Structure 1
Amino acid sequence: MRQLKLIWDFRGPHALKTAQHHEIHLKEYIETEHLDITITGNSAINEMHAIAFLVVNESDMKPLRDALKPHRGEVYV
């Protein structure tokens, strides 16, 4: 089954800290909703751009996209 990476972008001097904090909220949502999602993370793209993300099965993407409103997504490999 194809997996998709839902991504939230954060920019500015505090982008990485914001992305790290956002990942905490993503994990809380996963726990609260009893979802079978095990891959989350955050990453610095550069000193002014960072991302938070979670990886979902393509079949589960639409309701999660609508609920969580990621900025973008891509195929996870």
Structure 2
Amino acid sequence: MRKIKLIWDFRGPESAKIAEHHEKHLKEYIAIEQLPVDITGFDVLNDMYAIAWMVVTDDYMIAVRDALRPHRGELFG
């Protein structure tokens, strides 16, 4: 089964803090929805750009995409 990394982009001087905080909400969503994959993270790419992300399987991608509206996605792994 494919795993898809859903990504939220944050820009600006506070992007790292926002991405870190957003990951907490992603973890909460995974727990509430009881999703089978619980891989999340955030990456600071530079001082003005950071991302938060979560990994879902194909079976859950559409529902999570529609509920959380990520900016983009890519294959994971």
Q: TM-score range by the shorter chain?
A: over 0.9
TM-score by length of 2: 0.94
Q: Which structure 2 residue ranges, 5 or more long, are not aligned?
A: none
Amino acid at match of 1:42: F
TM-score by length of 1: 0.94
Aligned partner of residue 7 in structure 2, secondary structure: strand
Aligned partner of residue 9 in structure 1, secondary structure: strand
Residue correspondences, number:
77
Shift of 1:37: 2.0
Q: Which structure 1 residue ranges, 5 or more long, are not aligned?
A: none
Question: Alpha carbon RMSD of aligned pairs, Å?
Answer: 0.8
Shift of 1:32: 1.3
Aligned to 1:53: 53
Q: How does 1:38-49 map to 2 (within 5 A)?
A: 38-49=38-49
Shift of 1:24: 0.4
Q: Distance in 1 between matches of 2:45 and 2:73?
A: 16
Whether the 8 Å CA contact 2:27–2:38 is kept in 1: the answer is no
Aligned partner of residue 24 in structure 1, secondary structure: helix
Q: How does 1:1-77 map to 2 (within 5 A)?
A: 1-77=1-77
